Chain A
Amino acid sequence: MKEDRLDDLILDVQNVTYSVNGITLLNDISLSLKRGDNLLVFGPESSGITNLFDLIVRTDSGYEGEVLFKGESLKTLDYFGQLMHKKEIGYVHGDYGLLSNMTVEQNISLPLEYHSKLSAAEIKKHVGKIIYDLNLDHCRKLRPFDLTRSEMLKTSFARSLVMDPDLIYLEYAFEDQCPLNVKTMMKILNERSQLPDKSLVIITYYPWNFIDISDSFIMFFNGRIVFKGTKEDFLNSDNPYLLQYKNKSIEGPMVIL
């Protein structure tokens, strides 16, 4: 029975307490994500939402508790195991992290060129399809400094998709975008969120932008989970932390400095 449960979960964070330099950043956190589900994590600044990245993506092992990815403990991974784990997660950050000396096409191709056994022609074809799908054809030969913000986001997103990972981790990825240009990306993200066996973790300050594509919602404050629920719960709960956040109020249980 337990094995079935583990098989079903792509991510399982169990009672994790994470401290750096004596400061507790995450305090007894537990959360899980089923394959095919999409998790939205939000909360105010310094609430701990950024530190989930250290455990899940960067594989820092200095924590108490357990983080399992596809049933495997991330703590037990050696140096090469960590590299292999990282390639299984598509990561998009609001800073985009595009390599400035590479074109859009080279940026997107890089993970495949490094990891895959595909021929150059197969990589070109595969990347060409993603470029076409994301409407990046007009800028495929441009370098990041020639791109608009939405093109940078699309390139970063395309790069995260290219290895066809089971989990895509979006961290503040849409926060600094033109609300009109971002519509195309949201449409693509929406299509991705419908795929079975493909999951999203979205870290954001603006949860209301992702209501339609998220299955579960978690709110952090002071390194603790203060709200956890479904879309219905998110919309209707009278959780005081959630209400304060949704109302963008500085008055409530959360003391905002």
Chain B
Amino acid sequence: MIKQLAIYTGSKALSIESGVLDFINYTKSIIFSLRSLRYLSFRSIYNIIINQIKFTGVDALVIVMIIALLLGGTVIIQALTSLPKFGVEGFLGNILVIIIARELGPLATALIVIARSGSAIATEISVQKWSREILSMELMGIDTKLYIIFPRIIASIISITSLIIIFDIVAFIGGYLLSQTVVYIPMDVFGQILLDSFTFKDIVAALIKSIIFGITIPLICCYYGLKPSSKFEIPIYVSKAVIRTLFISIIVNIVISVLFYL
């Protein structure tokens, strides 16, 4: 029993190690490919960037705003009703900034982007690979790593940064309005509390999170998108892409929060 457990654990550890090494090599090869930027004409990736921003950013706007409104409302209602019970209502602004701006905004946005765009990126690339479209690009002398992944990273950084800002604004304003149905707090007082609680560090941390999410989400999803070697493997790798990107995003969120606020 113990022997079997040891074998299982050992083989899992080796499998994780080889997976991590493979991902590191993939990342290195993309960094190496950046050298072919000198051969790349920006106009050839312009459309990919615009389409990806439209899909990841613009098309996700409604769902991000609805979720921001609901989550913002919930947090604000909970804070406004619960904090006075403990006599710490003076920390209302800090609590809201900590929960919504520092943690919930970036993470919830990342989760929405992973669910919508991450899965779409992994599927699109794996289908392109299966139908020899990627090979076809390579045979045109196109550096596919650069052509496929680089514009998606640029588009994701722009989209995620914008979505996080919009999420926070909607969560605060919309959440405030929603909370007025339960408890009353004057708008100017609420606004002042928030402004007093925001620090420059919060803005930098949110910005860094959005940049790292913007890099990691397309990077991991493209990695798994390029993996399938047959049609039946496509759903397997798309599922892996979504789950592992989710996992990594949560880790990234924690690490940045620890580095900034601990």
Q: Bound complex: CA of A111 vs CA of B47, how far in Å?
A: 15
CB neighbours (8 Å) of A117 from chain B are 41
On B, residues with C-beta under 8 Å from A are 32, 35-36, 39-41, 43-44, 47, 124, 127-128, 131-133, 135-143, 147
Decide: A114 and B147 in contact? CB cutoff 8 A: yes
Partner of B132, one of A84, A95, A101, A110: A95
Partner of A80, one of B35, B47, B131, B138: B35
Q: Bound complex: CA of A140 vs CA of B249, how far in Å?
A: 42
Q: Bound complex: CA of A58 vs CA of B132, how far in Å?
A: 13
Partner of A57, one of B36, B139, B147: B139
Q: Bound complex: CA of A106 vs CA of B48, how far in Å?
A: 12
Q: Determine the residue in chain B with the shortest Cβ distance to A169.
A: B139
Within 8 A of B (CB), among A47-99: 57-58, 79-80, 83-89, 91, 93, 95, 97-99
Decide: A115 and B141 in contact? CB cutoff 8 A: yes
Closest Cβ–Cβ distance, residue B26 to chain A (whole Å): 15
Q: Determine which residue in B36, B47, B141, B143 has the highest number of CB atoms from chain A within 10 A of its CB, and name it.
A: B141
Partner of B128, one of A91, A100, A106: A100
Interface of B is mostly: helix
On A, residues with C-beta under 8 Å from B are 57-58, 79-80, 83-89, 91, 93, 95, 97-101, 106, 110-111, 113-117, 120, 159
Partner of A97, one of B35, B36, B47, B132: B132
CB neighbours (8 Å) of B128 from chain A are 99-100
CB neighbours (8 Å) of B141 from chain A are 83-88, 111, 114-115
Decide: B139 and A97 in contact? CB cutoff 8 A: yes
Q: Bound complex: CA of A111 vs CA of B135, how far in Å?
A: 14
Partner of A113, one of B39, B41, B131, B137: B41
CB neighbours (8 Å) of B142 from chain A are 83, 110-111, 114
Q: Bound complex: CA of A128 vs CA of B36, how far in Å?
A: 28
Supplied contacts A91-B136, A91-B140, 5 more A-B pairs, CB within 8 Å: A80-B36, A97-B135, A106-B47, A110-B140, A111-B141
Q: Bound complex: CA of A85 vs CA of B139, how far in Å?
A: 9
Partner of A99, one of B43, B137, B139: B137
Closest Cβ–Cβ distance, residue A97 to chain B (whole Å): 3
Q: Bound complex: CA of A61 vs CA of B136, how far in Å?
A: 19
Partner of A100, one of B39, B133, B147: B133
Partner of A86, one of B32, B133, B140: B140
CB neighbours (8 Å) of B44 from chain A are 110, 113-114
CB neighbours (8 Å) of A93 from chain B are 132, 136
Closest Cβ–Cβ distance, residue B56 to chain A (whole Å): 15
CB neighbours (8 Å) of A87 from chain B are 140-141
Partner of B136, one of A88, A98, A113, A114: A98
Closest Cβ–Cβ distance, residue B141 to chain A (whole Å): 3
Closest Cβ–Cβ distance, residue A105 to chain B (whole Å): 12
Closest Cβ–Cβ distance, residue B29 to chain A (whole Å): 9
Q: Determine which residue in B43, B128, B138, B140 has the highest number of CB atoms from chain A within 10 A of its CB, and name it.
A: B140
Decide: B139 and A115 in contact? CB cutoff 8 A: no
CB neighbours (8 Å) of B147 from chain A are 114
Closest Cβ–Cβ distance, residue A183 to chain B (whole Å): 26
Q: Bound complex: CA of A238 vs CA of B135, how far in Å?
A: 40
Q: Bound complex: CA of A80 vs CA of B131, how far in Å?
A: 25
CB neighbours (8 Å) of B127 from chain A are 100
Closest Cβ–Cβ distance, residue B163 to chain A (whole Å): 23
CB neighbours (8 Å) of A85 from chain B are 141
Decide: A111 and B140 in contact? CB cutoff 8 A: yes
Decide: A115 and B32 in contact? CB cutoff 8 A: no
Q: Determine which residue in B124, B139, B147 has the highest number of CB atoms from chain A within 10 A of its CB, and name it.
A: B139
CB neighbours (8 Å) of B136 from chain A are 91, 93, 97-99
Contact A83/B139 with A100-B133, A110-B44, A114-B40 known, Cβ cut-off 8 Å: no
Q: Bound complex: CA of A87 vs CA of B138, how far in Å?
A: 9
The 19 listed contacts between A and B (C-beta, < 8 Å) are A80-B39, A83-B141, A83-B142, A86-B139, A87-B140, A88-B141, A97-B136, A97-B139, A100-B127, A110-B140, A111-B140, A111-B141, A113-B41, A113-B44, A114-B44, A114-B140, A115-B41, A120-B43, A159-B140
